[in-house]
């Protein structure tokens, strides 16, 4: 639709009227002043229009072009604008129209980009009297509502003055009100209360429903009451907005003022030479650190290059932050900074005895290691590996070594590390790159010769990220770590002065090349007497102190401690023992708050009340033909292992194994069975027994996996006892058997001896080749044990059965 201008200067209708004075020409009315009773209707959803307004409208040409075309084609050019109760006027139906709207004359229509821009002049209120078209384009018959005359009513004047005063208060808060007020005064005066009320309502940002309520209120006084309420609400809203705006502006001005003052201060300080900018201050700080270090030639050259780069980079650039962080790391490392070792063997012995009870063989090995370092004048280039069950004190021994040498101590766990970058760092090209664990350890330790403890080295993993165990070779190998290269630093750093102490529960999972570079020190489990002394001297006092109780607030006598160890903490270490003591101390703390008198003595009979039923019970002494006790080694320490053999039926020959046995242990059972079948007559067994017997061999605790060759002679003894139908004496044994009856050596001798003592077995059979390991076992562990050494299975025949059944010609060796 092209732009149309609709002229309202139509001719005036003239008529002749006859008066008493004769004929004269009288002006009656303009044709356009007569409002039509049938109007096209335009729905609006935003807000209603009030008379005496000139309002621009923008609407969709697709929906409302027919309606406006009808208006343009009419003589009067008048349109009815009515508020609808929907969000979009395009969705309105006849039922959505409010009852009262405003008749408007259309002055200009402009079509652009699918939109109609229309300027309308609002003339007068009307009420819908009946529909002519209930679908778009809408049209209806209307009844016009005349505007009431204000008259001389003083109350209306008072309201009018109140409305004018409120508008005056609004004017300073929003400049737009000034322009609208000027336009109103150009057309009307302040003494026209009806127009004033409509104008005031149109100024507000009230809801469409509130404005429609004003439009529908014809009596002047109620309408002005509603308008005044809306104006007061608008005034409060404007004041709140002004307050918020003023607060924000004040803060912005304050920050801007501080920023300008700070920049001026920097400029003044720079001119006076008493301060530097951020970049210069950073560079000076790094250079001051570097001056205190003994950098290598390569490191000094790299630092100078990075400093030159830092001087030309903008402080806001990402490269500036990367370079600054790199220089921070380099300057914080202890290049050439070493602590002085305290090479005093007596002091080292005193510290080890202070921190640990027992472990005499371990202490002796550590003191020998320190003595060699004292003769050399330095302790470097060595890796100590402490291997033993959990809770025997491996980590605390590493800390004691650091105390004995007077070195810094740093510990981190490598268990579960699967990324090589954790060891050797990330390259600087990656976001969030950091050096590896060892460079971080050197930074935190502050010296180039700390004691670094690598915990759980047997649990290090491998994945697609790389092999951390292989990366450790460069770190730990004394021949390589003098020039350790971290990927982040990309500089050679000397780790040869570091004393590395590693801990592990077992050796099997440590890679061979790594294990080859370590000096292995075995820590076996504690026997009951050692645990008793450790609980009395270390664990119980420590738990009392942690609970905040007075020294000696809890008393446990020797008998009670023995019962606690045997029933609740029979494992190889002392960690479970400490937890049980902590549980007792906590319960005593409650009793002390409930008016119990200190010290509280806990007796043996009270343990079950404090700790519940015992976790460990005396091992059931299985006996009878075919039952033999073996000795086993586990990562948790030594353990006894009962082996049962039974003849299930004589229908056919067979051999069955149960008890979740590993492949090696199954092979040992097959070897033992084959050896006995082939030598049955020599051992006093009827050969027909094996021909007519289905034998079932079971190792109790079927839920626990078991493997290893050390049960070979135990299985053979159980099968021999079953075949001869004679019970075996109370004796425990360990050793690997071959098809020719040879007894081969096994490992874990100390742990197995401790397990036998724990089970109350005093007589033990070991392989003859293990005599050397037995001689290295501390005297207090061997005390009270009768140990026989066997080189062939024939040597056991004199030991297995009661004296009346012993065979001649057996060899016997006893070590006490």
Q: pLDDT tens digits, residue range 456-474?
A: 888 887 655 567 777 788 7
Token output for 467: 């092999």
For residue 31, pLDDT beyond 50: no
Residue 656 designated active-site? no
Average pLDDT over residues 735-762: 86
* pLDDT, tens digit, 9 for 90 and up, residues 689-746: 888 889 999 988 766 777 788 889 999 999 998 888 888 888 899 999 999 889 999 8
For residue 670, pLDDT beyond 80: yes
Q: Active site residue: 139, 693, 710, 717, which one?
A: 710
Residue 27, pLDDT score: 41
Distance CA 107, CA 701 (A): 101
Higher pLDDT, 26 or 312: 312
Distance CA 98, CA 47 (A): 12
Residue 312, pLDDT score: 82
Average pLDDT over residues 736-761: 86
User: Long-range pairs for 551-556 at CB < 8 Å and ≥24 separation?
Assistant: 552/599, 553/588, 553/592, 553/598, 553/599, 553/600, 554/584, 554/585, 554/588, 554/599, 554/600, 554/602, 555/599, 555/600, 555/601, 555/602, 556/581, 556/584, 556/601, 556/602
Write down the pTM of the prediction. 0.59
Average pLDDT over residues 541-556: 87
DSSP state letters, 99-124: SEEEEEEEEEEEEETTEEEEEEEEEE
Residues near 577 by Cβ (< 8 Å), separated by ≥ 6? Answer: 531, 534, 535, 539, 564, 565, 568, 569
Residue 681, helix vs strand vs coil: helix
State the average pLDDT for the chain.
Answer: 81
Residues near 644 by Cβ (< 8 Å), separated by ≥ 6? Answer: 622, 626, 627, 697, 698, 699, 700, 718
Higher pLDDT, 451 or 759: 451
Question: What is the residue whose two structure tokens read 């100024």?
Answer: 203
Distance CA 111, CA 118 (A): 9
For residue 813, pLDDT beyond 50: no
Residue 613 designated active-site? no
Distance CA 109, CA 339 (A): 92
Q: Active site residue: 752, 783, 791, 806, which one?
A: 752
* pLDDT, tens digit, 9 for 90 and up, residues 437-456: 888 888 888 888 888 898 88
Residue 429: CB atoms within 10 Å: 7
For residue 377, pLDDT beyond 60: yes
Contact 142, 103 (CB under 8 A): yes
């Amino acid at each position: 639709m092209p732009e149309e201008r609709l002229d309202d200067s139509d001719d005036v209708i003239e008529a002749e009227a006859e008066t008493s004075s004769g004929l004269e020409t009288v002006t009656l009315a303009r044709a356009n002043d007569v409002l039509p009773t049938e109007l096209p209707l335009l729905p609006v959803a935003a807000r209603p229009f009030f008379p005496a307004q000139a309002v621009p409208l923008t609407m969709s040409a697709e929906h409302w072009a027919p309606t406006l075309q009808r208006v343009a084609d009419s003589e009067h050019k008048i349109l009815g604008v009515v508020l609808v109760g929907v969000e979009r006027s395009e969705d309105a139906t006849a039922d959505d129209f409010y009852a009262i709207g405003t008749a408007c004359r259309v002055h200009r229509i402009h079509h652009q980009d699918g939109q109609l821009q229309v300027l309308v002049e609002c003339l007068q209120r009307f009420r819908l009297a009946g529909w002519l078209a209930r679908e778009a384009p809408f049209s209806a018959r209307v009844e016009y509502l005349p505007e009431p005359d204000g008259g001389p009513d003083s109350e209306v004047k008072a309201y009018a003055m109140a409305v004018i005063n409120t508008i005056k208060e609004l004017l300073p808060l929003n400049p737009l009100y000034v322009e609208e007020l000027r336009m109103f005064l150009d057309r009307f005066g302040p003494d026209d209360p009806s127009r004033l009320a409509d104008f005031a309502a149109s100024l507000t940002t009230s809801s469409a429903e509130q404005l429609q309520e004003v439009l529908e209120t014809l009596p002047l006084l109620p309408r002005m009451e509603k308008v005044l309420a809306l104006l007061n609400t608008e005034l409060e809203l404007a004041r709140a907005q002004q307050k918020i705006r003023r607060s924000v502006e004040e803060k912005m001005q304050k920050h801007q003022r501080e920023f300008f003052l700070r920049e001026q201060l920097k400029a003044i300080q720079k001119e006076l030479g008493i301060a530097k900018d951020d970049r210069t201050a950073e560079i000076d700080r790094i250079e001051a650190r570097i001056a205190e270090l003994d950098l290598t030639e390569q490191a000094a050259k790299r630092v100078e290059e990075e400093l030159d780069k830092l001087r030309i980079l903008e402080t806001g650039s990402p490269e500036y932050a990367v370079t600054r962080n790199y220089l921070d790391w380099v300057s914080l490392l202890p290049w050439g900074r070493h602590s002085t070792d305290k090479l005093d063997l007596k002091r080292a012995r005193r510290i080890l005895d202070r921190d640990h009870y027992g472990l005499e063989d371990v202490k002796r090995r550590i003191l020998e290691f320190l003595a060699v370092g004292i003769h050399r004048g330095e302790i470097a280039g060595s890796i100590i590996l402490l291997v033993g069950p959990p809770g025997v004190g491996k980590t605390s021994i590493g800390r004691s070594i650091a105390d004995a040498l007077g070195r810094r101590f740093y510990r981190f766990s490598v268990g579960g590390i699967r990324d090589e970058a954790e060891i050797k760092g990330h390259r600087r090209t990656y976001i969030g790159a950091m050096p590896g664990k060892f460079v971080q350890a050197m930074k935190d330790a502050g010296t180039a010769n700390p004691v670094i403890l690598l915990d759980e080295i047997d649990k290090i993993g491998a994945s697609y990220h790389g092999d951390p165990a292989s990366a450790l070779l460069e770190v730990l190998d004394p021949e390589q770590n003098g020039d350790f290269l971290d990927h982040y630093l990309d500089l050679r750093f000397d780790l040869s002065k570091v004393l590395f102490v590693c801990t592990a529960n077992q050796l099997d999972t440590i890679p061979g090349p790594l294990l080859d570079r370590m000096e292995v020190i075995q820590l076996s489990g504690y026997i009951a007497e050692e645990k008793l002394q450790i609980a009395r001297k270390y664990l119980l006092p420590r738990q009392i102190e942690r609970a905040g109780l007075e020294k000696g607030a809890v008393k446990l006598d020797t008998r009670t401690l023995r019962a606690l160890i045997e029933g609740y903490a029979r494992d190889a270490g002392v960690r479970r023992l400490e937890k049980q003591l902590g549980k007792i101390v906590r319960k005593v703390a409650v009793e002390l708050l409930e008016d119990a008198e200190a010290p509280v003595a806990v007796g043996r009979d009270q343990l079950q009340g404090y700790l519940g039923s015992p976790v460990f019970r005396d091992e059931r002494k299985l006996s009878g033909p075919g039952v033999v006790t073996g000795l086993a080694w586990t990562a948790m320490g030594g353990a006894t292992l009962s082996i049962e053999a039974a003849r299930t039926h004589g229908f056919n020959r067979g051999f069955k194994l149960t008890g979740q046995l590993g492949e090696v242990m199954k092979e040992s059972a097959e070897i033992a069975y084959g050896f006995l079948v082939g030598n049955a007559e020599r051992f006093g067994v009827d050969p027909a027994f094996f021909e007519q017997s289905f034998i079932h061999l079971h190792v109790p605790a079927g839920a626990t996996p078991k493997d290893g060759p050390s049960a070979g002679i135990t299985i053979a003894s159980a099968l021999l006892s079953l075949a001869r139908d004679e019970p075996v004496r109370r004796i425990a044994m360990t050793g690997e058997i071959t098809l020719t009856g040879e007894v081969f050596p096994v490992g874990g001798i100390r742990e197995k001896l401790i397990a036998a003592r724990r089970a109350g077995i005093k007589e033990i059979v070991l392989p003859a080749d293990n005599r050397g390991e037995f001689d290295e076992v501390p005297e207090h562990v061997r005390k009270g044990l009768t140990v026989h050494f066997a080189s062939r299975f024939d040597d056991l025949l004199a030991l297995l059965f009661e004296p009346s059944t012993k065979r001649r010609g057996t060899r016997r060796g006893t070590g006490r």
